[in-house]
Structure 1
């Protein structure tokens, strides 16, 4: 399949390929995750070098019949989003989630918009935690891994089971209290309303439980880096 019309996308991850090329995973608006070789991108004078950096909106085209494509054209569509410190680590976390959880050529245009929103919030720095929770929420929903959050009794306590979803319980088991949530917290998470600090904490706990369950025993490198720093 050759894509001659330029497609909107971002670099998720790149790694050396052969002597002078890069093997890059892109997140594209119309085709989802696309893995492609960018020939000669590691040469100092390569015109493609600046276009295959994370957090740079690009317009790209590719060719190839197999799952691994070859980029034929890539141009920056706007300036690189300047992320530093914790914002940079959070951006790498978003990229790793997409790289690990998306299937090749499975388009998610709504998720692409939420990714752009999250990156812009990381640059602005106004509500980084709320942006991360919103993106995790929408990612899990798009991929079919989010249990039903709506329709909960506001004052009841719910326990999450990774395979069965939420069930009402009468008493919290302190030994496993991270799996328990109040109905009002779940309703706020469903609406992406993170103004209450307790909702933010509950959302972080819930999203981590769900993401870790999906990833199994393969931890996120970006999360380990954040913890070390």
Structure 2
């Protein structure tokens, strides 16, 4: 392809390529997840040096064919500069890794990009890290076609009873079971993205089970990095 138009994007991941270059995974509005070579990006005099930072919106152009294209220009969108603490940084590393693992390359994901963009913008200003992560995880699953059915019992299609307890079955949903982990009222609240009265570990276990099924054995390395620092 000829050089693209300027494209809004975020850096998801980067790795070394030769002595002076980088391969970067980018999440862009129009193209979805793409991989680019940033030639000479490690050199202090490179036009890319200091720009390839995660969690800040970038504007780029690129060119080339195939799965690995070439980054040609880069600029910052200063409206999204973030000031993050260590907990927020590791949480966002986890979200970035999820997107890398779950999104196929070069399939436009405009709605997901908007969701991610809004999440980044709000995340820096909200101390409720766990609740924000759970909401993003559920919305991500929904947009990728793996949304959880919070409304009906999978065995009989009856509406979730707020007074009953349920177990979660991966890929299927909830079914009634005596003394199970999930209370019906909590399931209903989660369907409305209201986590205020739900034990944090309960909602975390739910999204972890659902996401692990979608990952199909792929590992999320940032979970292990983050574990000794703080459980989210």
Instruction: Give the TM-score normalised by the residue count of structure 2.
Output: 0.87
Query: Residue 176 of structure 2 corresponds to which residue in structure 1?
Result: 168
Structure 1: 5+ residue runs without aligned partners?
none
Query: Residue 138 of structure 1 corresponds to which residue in structure 2?
Result: 139
Query: Residue 68 of structure 1 corresponds to which residue in structure 2?
Result: 68
Please report how far the alpha carbon of residue 137 of structure 1 lies from its aligned counterpart in structure 2 after TM superposition: 0.6
Q: What do residues 64-86 of structure 1 show as CA deviations (whole Å, max 9, x unaligned)?
A: 12011111111111163222211
| Cα distance in structure 2, aligned partners of 1:3 and 1:155 | 59
> 2:150–2:173: 8 Å Cα contact kept in structure 1?
no
The total of aligned residue pairs comes to 221
In proportion to residue count, which structure has more helix? Answer: 1
Query: Residue 15 of structure 1 corresponds to which residue in structure 2?
Result: 15
Please report how far the alpha carbon of residue 153 of structure 1 lies from its aligned counterpart in structure 2 after TM superposition: 2.2
Q: Does 1:104 align with 2:105?
A: yes
CA RMSD, aligned part only? Answer: 1.8
Please report how far the alpha carbon of residue 228 of structure 1 lies from its aligned counterpart in structure 2 after TM superposition: 2.6
> 2:88–2:124: 8 Å Cα contact kept in structure 1?
yes
| Cα distance in structure 2, aligned partners of 1:196 and 1:108 | 32
Instruction: Quickly say closer, same or farther: Cα 1:166–1:61, change in 2 above 3 A.
Output: same
Please report how far the alpha carbon of residue 118 of structure 1 lies from its aligned counterpart in structure 2 after TM superposition: 2.5
Q: In structure 2, the residue corresponding to 1:49 is in which secondary structure?
A: coil
Q: Does 1:155 align with 2:163?
A: yes
Q: Does 1:26 align with 2:26?
A: yes
> 2:146–2:171: 8 Å Cα contact kept in structure 1?
no
Q: Does 1:206 align with 2:209?
A: no
Please report how far the alpha carbon of residue 157 of structure 1 lies from its aligned counterpart in structure 2 after TM superposition: 2.0
Please report how far the alpha carbon of residue 3 of structure 1 lies from its aligned counterpart in structure 2 after TM superposition: 5.0
> 1:63–1:72: 8 Å Cα contact kept in structure 2?
yes
Q: Does 1:227 align with 2:224?
A: no
| Cα distance in structure 1, aligned partners of 2:207 and 2:71 | 35
Q: In structure 2, the residue corresponding to 1:5 is in which secondary structure?
A: coil
Q: In structure 2, the residue corresponding to 1:50 is in which secondary structure?
A: coil
Instruction: Give the TM-score normalised by the residue count of structure 1.
Output: 0.89
Give matches, 1:41-120, under 5 Å. Answer: 41-78=41-78, 80-120=81-121
> 2:12–2:96: 8 Å Cα contact kept in structure 1?
yes
Please report how far the alpha carbon of residue 116 of structure 1 lies from its aligned counterpart in structure 2 after TM superposition: 2.3
> 2:171–2:213: 8 Å Cα contact kept in structure 1?
no
